[in-house]
Chains A and B, each alone.
Chain A
């Protein structure tokens, strides 16, 4: 399994060495850290050339306000033919948490990106309908950021 994943990383490097910023291997999984401007190209390449035809999951995360870059977005790719999983990771700074949307590559990214925007305030450029999805549209702040308190700032009212 690990050899197979290594192969995809090598292929990525062969195609464009500047895409791959870092490779992390652990617990039988491989993470490829790519620059935020390259996400779309990497995803299209992996989907078209290496049969990663399904985006199993997309999720964001916050490392805390003191970290730089503060946010990350994970793309968990999966293939319905060779059943490998590969994680593509993008790191984003707090000042400009923006990354290209992958909705043109996989339709399923639509709701995942809305959820990530809803919780972390990460903007997905080119998303057709970037609205809050789980929290109410008038919710203030981004609830899953580390500096957002568990119980919110004040009793939230539906009015």
Chain B
């Protein structure tokens, strides 16, 4: 039998009170598709409103920083591929440049240009995955397919040069694994010619889309001061109006000689971060084109036979090359004692490597400062007071990769 509750009875009051004061805790993830991997969020909710969010990470922890200490310097490169698996060449670059700084190696011009070229291609590929999944999270299905088509073309280029698609390990300490294959420049130019048209598709599908505007504008706001205090870097920081790009401000591999703009937006919200990345894709394409023009024949490895593996041809003809090859593979090379922190502008922000050597063939300590790790730590501040559905939008706008966060 149902008990009738009149409006003014004490029972009605308690029912109403409970309804208003009922907070609930929701565990979001770790298998939720919009958490981009294995991120788990503990959300304290009041209805649809997020009162508090606590990220729980570590599901993908594989002890990489420990592993580096047990591997020779050149063996560590393949571990870095698996951290931010959407930007492996960026990880390679940060790692090898830290080691090169300790070794004081001079990298030939051609290798530098190829490094820049591939880092920018990889940045576009990374942004394509971000754009596709970010759209998918917010209900836009079709951009995903167009984005992955573009990314596929870039992965094919990377595969042509290195043999690997997701784990290229193309940059080596002292240079590159090998030179570009024949016909690479034409294939790359073909991609660059087709790319602006693809970007226009995304503009049609998302940038001018009213639904997209209402899902992104004014959501996940983080002020300029907070963004700096939280250590946000990359597009997340530039979306909050801070004009900072390590490629321009702490230049490496000759970025200072390239002509490109640093997009900055001042809205501090999901939309601003979206616009920064979209505009960055054009800038990266610009840099790739300049790098292609600069490609001149020349050596791709530093002149340091005790550190850089010799060419196969040399090994067949020269005994000392064979000896060096054997020694590098069997015993590694000693790195002078010292410590460096090298930071590059990866697709998601500042990727820093702290490397400490004690003089042996294996590093004493390698620490990676992953941009995703730091950017995610600001999430609780960004989603406070937003709706549950907007949490998904904010996570997407941070562009996190759990492989790098958990390491």
Contact = CB atoms under 8 A, between A and B. Distances in A.
B266 interface: no
Interface string B348-380: 001010101000000011010100011001100
Contact of A143 (B66, B102, B343, B373): B66
Interface residues of B, number: 40
B249 A144 contact: no
Task: Give the interface centre of B231, B352, B381 by most chain A CB atoms within 10 Å.
Answer: B231
B374 A108 contact: yes
Nearest to A106: B229
Nearest to B101: A27
A56 interface: yes
Interface string B57-71: 110010101110010
B228 A80 contact: yes
B64 to A, nearest CB: 10
Interface string A47-83: 0000001111101011100000000001010101001
B226 interface: yes
A107 B354 contact: no
B407 interface: yes
A26 interface: yes
B400 to A, nearest CB: 13
A57 B352 CA distance: 8
B25 interface: no
Given A59-B369, A135-B61, A80 B242 contact: yes
A83 B250 CA distance: 7
Contact of A108 (B66, B230, B339, B354): B230
Interface residues of A, number: 36
B66 A29 contact: no
Given A54-B228, A119-B65, A135-B58, A85 B377 contact: no
B341 interface: yes
A108 B380 CA distance: 12
Interface of A: 26-29, 31, 53-57, 59, 61-63, 74, 76, 78, 80, 83, 85, 87, 106-108, 110-112, 119, 132-136, 143-144, 150
26 contacts: A26-B338, A28-B101, A29-B340, A54-B228, A54-B231, A57-B369, A59-B369, A61-B356, A61-B365, A61-B367, A62-B365, A63-B364, A74-B354, A76-B341, A76-B354, A80-B242, A80-B244, A83-B249, A107-B229, A108-B378, A111-B373, A112-B374, A119-B65, A134-B58, A143-B66, A150-B66
